[in-house]
Amino acid sequence: MKLVYLNADNGIPVFSDKGASVHIQEMVRAFVRLGCDVRLLTARMGSDVLDDLAALAEAVQGSSRSGSPSGRAEKEKLYIETAKRIEERLIELHAVWPFELIYERYSLWSAAGVRAARRLGITCVVEVNAPLVDEQMAYRKLVLDEIARDIEAEVFANADGLMVVSKPLGDYVVGQGAAQARVHLTGNAVDGSRFHPGVVPAEVPGIPHDAYVIGFCGSLKRWHGVDVLLSAFRHLKLRLPEAHLLIVGDGPKRGWIEGFIQGAGLADSVTMTSWQPHTALPGLIARMDVTTAPYPQSESHYFSPLKLFEYMAVGRPIIASHIGQTADVIQHRKNGFLVPPGDADSLVEALMTLRIDPEMARRLADAAADEGRKHDWKRNAQAVLDTANAVRRIAS
């Protein structure tokens, strides 16, 4: 099958180590492994161009009428222009390379995929990773909110299939007008050739060889619960002197975290690596004796945490919050440990339990690895192709 993977999101450079960027890279690779002929159109290329994907990718950008946009409204207009230019590029490309499927990563300002698909009479499947309008209004800035809502409604109403990464997100999409029959659940996944139990643990400066390493991977944002983890670690350290915290990632809460570490006298017991290349993550996760996903309480926890699947695939014991899709993937005391979201005391007790019961830790790690092997990018890509083929059969 010939398909175009479309990323019109100006906040996601295809070639970077951001989680969203990794998701795009892995899905494109999975389509290729399934025998598809793939082109990748993107609003931003990124700087860390990967050899195996470089020939497939093309950057398409709109132009601002006022040169370099300064205000938020001007930037949003530029993003809309970029989506329009991508739509036209799809039409141009189809004339010389007739493709059968558009697979678009849903972005705030783009209906390029569904519009081009209607014009060309082909199938468009949209991947939805977040309720972007709500998210933008809650955490960032949004000026042209009515236009954003209209674009969202158009995409959800006209996509032939909507691949959502979690059940709460599926509920959101249906609540915004999508037909339930067109919504399909496909959580995040992992590359089992790089993330597996045989990975050699990385040597991390500053961590003693006999330390009991508690780990966290991800962006340091307030909804990822790193503050809960730090509070728990401070109390754990009083009971478990050999404990060491390894934080892999970076983000807006880094300054707060560094201040907490200094104020709590934990400078010698916490290692922060800053942002790491995705290729470095398997070894860093393998260095962790126990991994954490300490999400706080939330009314709409729609995430499909990439780190959760990477933790599992490497075969690490996991302690995670009992919330959202995390609680669907992790079965308490079977392939991980679940604690109430935002509860630092319960997190401490779970960490102590796994420390004093190494047999339980080993059993959970083995079961996590078994579960991790089930979540493969190739399986997700096949689900997209199956959805597209079903649409075409109905149409014919």
- Confidence at 67, pLDDT banded by 50, 70, 90: low
The strand pairing partners of 163, in sequence order, are: 127, 184
- Confidence at 273, pLDDT banded by 50, 70, 90: very high
Handedness of CA 324, 296, 253, 312 (dihedral sign): negative
CA dist 319 and 353 (Å) reads 11
- 3-state SS, residue 310: helix
Q: Where are the domains of the chain?
A: 2-189+376-395, 212-372
**pLDDT at residue 65 greater than cutoff 70:** no
Cβ contact 75:49 at 8 Å: no
pLDDT at 64: 58
Radius of gyration of the chain (CA): 22
pLDDT at 68: 61
- Confidence at 66, pLDDT banded by 50, 70, 90: low
Cβ contact 188:23 at 8 Å: yes
**pLDDT at residue 119 greater than cutoff 70:** yes
Q: How many CB atoms lie within 10 A of CB 37?
A: 14
Kindly report, residue by residue over 199-253, the tens digit of the pLDDT.
999 999 999 999 999 999 998 988 889 999 999 999 999 999 999 999 999 999 9
pLDDT at 396: 61
Kindly report, residue by residue over 98-111, the tens digit of the pLDDT.
999 999 999 999 99
Helix then strand count (H, E) for the chain reads 15, 13
Mean pLDDT of 11-19: 93
pTM: 0.92
∠ CA 322-167-297, rounded to 5° = 35
**pLDDT at residue 56 greater than cutoff 90:** yes
Is the model more confident about 337 or about 66?
337
pLDDT at 393: 78
- Strand pairing category for 290-293 and 270-272: unpaired
Q: Could you check whether 2-189+376-395 and 212-372 share the same CATH topology? A: yes
CATH architecture, domain defined by 212-372? 3-Layer(aba) Sandwich (3.40)
CA dist 346 and 338 (Å) reads 9
pLDDT at 361: 97
Kindly report, residue by residue over 288-320, the tens digit of the pLDDT.
999 999 999 887 778 888 999 999 999 999 999
At the fourth CATH level, the homologous superfamily of domain 2-189+376-395 is Glycogen Phosphorylase B; (3.40.50.2000)
Quick one: tokens of 3?
């398909």
pLDDT at 80: 95
